[in-house]
Amino acid sequence: MTTPPSLSDAERLAREMEVARSIQRDFLPESLPIAMGVQLEAALHPAREVSGDFYDAFLLPPAGTIVLVVGDVCDKGVGAALFMALFRSLIRASADPVQGGAIQMIGGRRTLVRQALESATPADLLTRVASFTNDYIARLHGRTNMFATVFLGALDPGTGQLDYVNAGHEPALVIGTGGGIQELRPTGPALGLLPDRLFTAGVATLEPGHGFFAFTDGLVEARSPAGEAFGAQRLRDALRGNTASAATLVRGVLDALQAFTGPAEPHDDVTVLAASRTFG
């Protein structure tokens, strides 16, 4: 008995999607950076086999600044996943030109370009990364109408200073020890819409005991079986009740989300990235 063509096609598609999912996982960091006095935690839950969301976290030499990235490509499915890989690669290569390989492509390891990049302030670096990524996508792939909202942060582990560029993304949140929450709102448009857009940097401070939480809109827009949205207030309540560490921030929010949505099918990807500064 021969296998029906439709079943064979379905099996082939399933295998291809599994390969795509595996490749996409490789674009996420294998591990999160370790820095004295800072804890990091992240999670990504795709609504489909592949995701348009992404996150990244890496150290920048020589100062040891931690770069934090959370992004959300418009649309869903394979197209969004392809652009997720492109956005993530552009951001990593332009923010970390030595490890990302960009320096080797523009003239070796000892160049004036490298020196200029390494001497840039965190705010300058983030605005350059946002501008470069935006212009590359808008100029080379503008006909696709694909764009991404992205939060870019640069955290100094020693001082707790957090420089950031919010490119049209959901406001990241800084949670204080008394339960107060500061919103890090957009400082520029989404990446890839139009070339030559202006991006500015904001600044916040993570004092010892403070937490940081960045996320994609799939979190607050997740629905209960009755169709109600999870919303910003439930997110804030979950954060206030779980401030002990980055891990408890992530686990507390995801547990609250699961209790709220129950068996309802996810309609969008959910990605979270948290940081906390320890006392002492």
Please state the rounded mean pLDDT for residues 28-45.
94
Give the pLDDT band of residue 105 (cuts 50, 70, 90). very low
Overall average pLDDT of the 7-34 stretch: 75
- Provide the mean pLDDT of the chain: 88
The pLDDT value given to residue 8: 74
CATH number for the domain whose boundaries are 34-277: 3.60.40.10
Predicted confidence (pLDDT) at residue 3 exceeds the cutoff of 70:
no
Over the stretch 209-237, which tens digit does the pLDDT of each residue have?
A: 999 999 999 999 999 999 999 999 999 99
The whole-angstrom separation of Cα 220 and Cα 52 is 16
Q: Is the pLDDT of residue 20 over 90?
A: no
pLDDT single digits (tens) 166-193: 999 999 999 999 889 999 999 999 999 9
pTM: 0.89
Of residues 130, 147, 129, the one with CA closest to residue 138: 147
In which band, very low, low, confident or very high, does the pLDDT at 97 lie, cut at 50, 70 and 90?
low
Among residues 142, 141, 97, the alpha carbon closest in space to that of 117 is found at: 97
Q: What is the pLDDT of residues 46-70, one digit of tens each?
A: 887 788 899 999 999 888 999 999 9
% of the chain at pLDDT higher than 90: 69
**Long-range own/partner contacts, residues 88-91 (CB < 8 A, 24 or more apart):** 88/27, 88/54, 88/56, 89/27, 90/132, 90/133, 90/136, 90/137, 91/56, 91/129, 91/133, 91/150, 91/152
Average pLDDT over residues 203-212: 96
Q: Based on the number of CB atoms within 10 Å of its own CB, is 75 exposed (0-12), middle (13-18) or buried (19 or more)?
A: middle
